[in-house]
Amino acid sequence: MPPASRTPKLGAANSLRWRIIFWITCVVLVAMGTVILITRSVLQSQVTDSANQSVEQEIDEFTQFAADGTDPLTAAPFATPQRLIEVYLSRQIPDDDEILLGAVDGQLIQPDLSQLSGRFRGPLASDSALAGEILRSPTPSGVFSDPVDGAVHWGRVQFQSPDNNQEAYFAVAVHTHPAREMVDREVATLALIGSGGVVAAFLIAWLIAGQIIAPIRNLRQVAASISNSDLSQRVPVEGGDELAQLALTFNSMLDRIEAAYREQRQFVDDAGHELRTPITVVRGQLELLGSSTPEEQARSVELSTAELDRMARMVNDMLTLAVADSAGFVTPTPVEVAELTLDIEEKANTIIQRAQVVAVAEGEVPLDEQRVTEAVLELYRNALKYVEGDSDIDLGSEFKGCGEERMFRIWVRDRGPGVPVEMQEAVFGRFHRGEPSASARASGSGLGLSIVKAIAEAHGGRAYLDSTVGLGSIFGLELPAPEIVDPQDEESVGA
């Protein structure tokens, strides 16, 4: 078996189901990762905003206290910055991870609340890096990155008592490391939940992919079960979605293939049967040549030549039918049908002088002049086989209908015995023969009317028969000939 005809091996790498699962899982992973990153960024931003707001709030409260507060012992304004800071700090309970402190001439003033509760941070050492950052930084606020405690947001305000020239500061420091650790724990929990969602999405994708590819799997199984001896298998159709439409299209294709296969087999069988007869006749005549008289030899040669001519025409007709379904079988061009009708009459009379035109249509129709001529002459030859005596054969053309529905008809009418109703559907079939008249010279190949039908259908039309037993028959072609309306004529009608 050549490599091109081998069925590709279906594996996990090229399975449609796994590709669907992969892409659905990827989409869920990307969506989940995006949600986690955005959530973490928002929560971290909230931690930063909360720390900055705490620093600003404490600074504002201290500034207001320094402006309006009085010493509770003297009921007068604070005499020293140190006393101001001590009184203020004694009235404050800092939040978790918040440090409130004062500094006078470089000396830190801060309460030790860690002894009251383990949740408060201990006093800040004066030689610590954070204390140095707060007291010596040229800016009044900032963020200090501590190697151990992480980011610390701080702010300070400088003040001075009216009667004292001491340099004094009040400062606030907020540690954000615990809050950020909480954010990380929440994000980790969200990621754990998200991983469960990914697993669920994987399972759902598995089920959905199975439902999606089930019709495709049925399609593949039916296609694999089709053989030359059995074209009856069809794909089950369920629902009305795109896959159901695909199944309907595939079944329709199988119907056409089965019909074409039957026609091909019938054609081959009929062709073999039809060709067998002239071959047998020629063979028999050749076998008699050696023992026959000169007169009998001449008769044998004449019979053999006639059979060979009939066989040659049969082969040519079969070749014509073989290309009838191709795109280039007919090449329509605008043709004056009146001239076409008269030309066909002239050519028909070169065969036998019996054709007469009784109706002529006038106008221009897009058609293949040579093919239509071939078809009408075939109808004329067919009529010659069935007419009795020297009766004429009528030839005519006409238009039927109007507008987009207009049709062009060209026909041949004989006054023969006619075709019974039960036989009219079969006359355009391949290798069909009626009973010729006694005056007919020879029987045809049985393919002539099939070629007429093929030419008509290639133009988008049909071949038709109107026959009455005892009165004769009309064989013709009916081809589309829509009227072309001039836009100027439409405007004049509208006006």
Q: What is the pLDDT of residues 165-191, one digit of tens each?
A: 778 889 999 999 889 999 999 999 999
Lowest mean pLDDT among 255-264, 354-363, 453-462, 484-493: 484-493
Distance from C-alpha of 175 to C-alpha of 149, rounded to nearest angstrom = 7
Q: Which CATH number fits domain 32-183: 1.10.3470, 3.30.450, 3.40.50, 3.10.620?
A: 3.30.450
Q: What is the pLDDT of residue 409?
A: 95
User: What's the mean pLDDT in 123-147?
Assistant: 86
Q: Which CATH number fits domain 333-487: 3.30.565.10, 3.40.50.10490, 3.30.465.10, 3.50.50.60?
A: 3.30.565.10
Lowest mean pLDDT among 108-117, 187-196, 305-314: 108-117
Class in CATH terms, 242-322: mainly alpha
Distance from C-alpha of 143 to C-alpha of 329, rounded to nearest angstrom = 86
Q: Where in the chain do CATH 1.10.287.130 domains reside? A: 242-322
Q: Where in the chain do CATH 3.30.450 domains reside? A: 32-183
Instruction: Give the dihedral sign, CA 391/396/401/405.
Output: positive
Distance from C-alpha of 369 to C-alpha of 358, rounded to nearest angstrom = 20
Q: What is the pLDDT of residues 5-30, one digit of tens each?
A: 444 554 544 578 888 888 889 999 99
Binned at pLDDT 50, 70 and 90, residue 434 comes out as low
Q: Where in the chain do CATH 3.30.565.10 domains reside? A: 333-487
pLDDT beyond 90 at 49: yes
pLDDT beyond 80 at 351: yes
**What proportion of the chain, given as a percentage, has pLDDT over 70?**
85
Which helix H or strand E contains 158, and what residues bound it? Answer: strand 150-159
DSSP class per residue in 393-444: EEEEEEEES-GGG-EEEEEEEE-SS---HHHHTTTTSTT------TT-----
User: What's the mean pLDDT in 410-428?
Assistant: 86
- CA–CA distances in Å: residue 373 to residues 110, 355, 380, 413: 117, 14, 10, 16
Question: Quick one: residue 333, left, alpha or beta (phi over 0 = left, psi -120 to 50 = alpha)?
Answer: beta
pLDDT beyond 90 at 399: yes
In the DSSP assignment, the letter for residue 227 is B
Q: What is the pLDDT of residues 267-290, one digit of tens each?
A: 677 667 667 767 887 888 788 777
Q: What is the pLDDT of residue 244?
A: 80
Task: Please enumerate in sequence order all residues whose Cβ is within 8 A of that of 342, keeping only pairs 6 or more positions apart, or say none.
Answer: 357, 360
* Residues 432-438: contacts with CB under 8 Å, at least 24 apart: 434/385, 434/386, 436/385, 436/386, 437/385, 437/386, 437/387, 437/388, 438/388
DSSP class per residue in 93-138: -PPTTEEEEEEETTEEE---GGGT-TTSPPPPPTTSHHHHHHHH-S
Question: Per the structure block, which two tokens stand in for 426?
Answer: 């079969």
In the DSSP assignment, the letter for residue 7 is P
Question: Per the structure block, which two tokens stand in for 306?
Answer: 């006639």
Nearest to 442 by CA among 324, 313, 332: 313
